[in-house]
Structure 1
């Protein structure tokens, strides 16, 4: 039995992101261990639910049917939905626990690492993954096996993630305002997906796909923080 590259790299993404998260946490945390594990558990649950729900809206025909032997675990998911679902359940858990401090900073760079590794699996999966771009005549267009040169959208996203990770580490260090590293990640990633998904085949409503509308909603939600985030990045 040959292990599907999407499955292999998704597993590597989870393990690498978790390893980096654990290393970062050794340098300190804004909440105690018990509260942090409640937050992590809420993030996992919300991410699982949100990733599948948004995938169902994005393309109902693929929802829970893509790779049927692995559905509900590896197939029919979207990262954007996972991030939104995790954010909502974490905020709900924090409210129940009476936690008022921002707790997302420890997740920002591990998420970037995990998403970047996962995109390698998406790219290597070719047409099976359906995260490829529309046809292009540009010299870096890639034929995924059907004779059509397409935008390598997975590679575009990996390059943007690499730049974002470097910026967060170099410009928003430990002295940044609590919560700003995660906010910066969310704003940058949702902005990235809003743009990159323009060159992906998708069912669109009002000119945007379900994922793009979700990204736009998140950007509107974080809009009041954007001027301060830009100023903090510049200040470095």
Structure 2
């Protein structure tokens, strides 16, 4: 196989990263519209929360990327380059979380909105990783060299861990594991104070962040922070938050106290 694996649609040759990233957004959003629970949220509140999510995700994805190689980032900025390229899924997820929580507080919405996003995120991320795999070396999402039989030569003559495929497999397994929570989430009704737990989203985030923390050890990216990289530091911060959240709520997603909204 020669990388990148371009996709031909009639006379057009489309780069796999462009195609599958577009598909991930489109299919993920359509799945969200199809599976979301009925809600009494006003259109204005919905737009405010959507805007907060998108803005937070965009900022988080870029800001975390800047810390991948601080020296290189500083040199690029010193030369006047704005570093338009590059983004991270972990930064997008954590930035989106901050954005949505701030927007919910602004809109006065108490219930969790995260559970409705879990399967759209899983499907969208898995589709996006297909594009990362087919792009090969250009995407910088591959793993370090390996002698395993599943090693893939992305074009430089070195067999590498197909980290993109590992992530797709993990996301599919996580989707199966979370299915019982999905069914209970569909039946959940707001309590007398209007809160819904968001338990499914909390476990999704904890699971994905734990996976990314581990998989980053086989990524050929700089690890300048005491043997860790920027993604792993963000994962640790996110795991501390969600670990605290789940422990304080006994793992069942119940609210911490009556005047505090559920995260996610």
Tell me if TM exceeds 0.5: yes
Partner of 1:220: 240
Distance 2:94 2:181 in 1: 25
1:170, CA displacement in angstroms? 3.5
Q: 2:206 aligns with which of 184, 187, 208?
A: 187
Comparing 200-209 with 118-127, greater Cα deviation is found at 200-209
1:151 aligned partner: 161
Alpha carbons of structure 1 residues 103 and 11: separation in structure 2 relative to 1, 3 Å = same
Aligned to 1:23: 34
Runs of at least 5 residues in structure 1 that lack an aligned partner in the other structure: 66-70
Tell me how far apart the structure 1 counterparts of residues 178 and 208 of structure 2 sit (CA, whole Å): 12
Structure 2 portions without partners, runs of 5+: 1-11, 77-82, 189-195, 254-264
> How many Å separate the matches in 2 of 1:191 and 1:22?
28
- Do the aligned residues in 2 keep the contact of 1:109 with 1:168 (CA within 8 Å)? no
Q: Quick check: which one's helix share is greater? A: 1
Structure 2-normalised TM-score?
A: 0.78
TM-score, normalised via structure 1 length: 0.87
CA distance in 2, matches of 1:231, 1:137: 42
TM-superposed CA distance for 1:230, in Å, is 5.8
Larger gyration radius, structure 1 or structure 2: 2
Tell me the C-alpha RMSD between the 2 structures: 2.2
Once the two structures are overlaid, the 10-residue window that deviates more, 167-176 or 128-137, is: 167-176
For this pair of structures, how many residues does the alignment match? 223
Q: What SS does the corresponding residue of 1:20 show, helix, strand or coil?
A: helix
State yes or no: 1:198 paired with 2:217.
yes
Aligned match of 1:141? 151
Kindly indicate whether residue 187 of structure 2 is the aligned counterpart of residue 175 of structure 1. yes
Q: Distance in 1 between matches of 2:175 and 2:48?
A: 26
Structure 1 residue 225: Cα displacement: 3.6
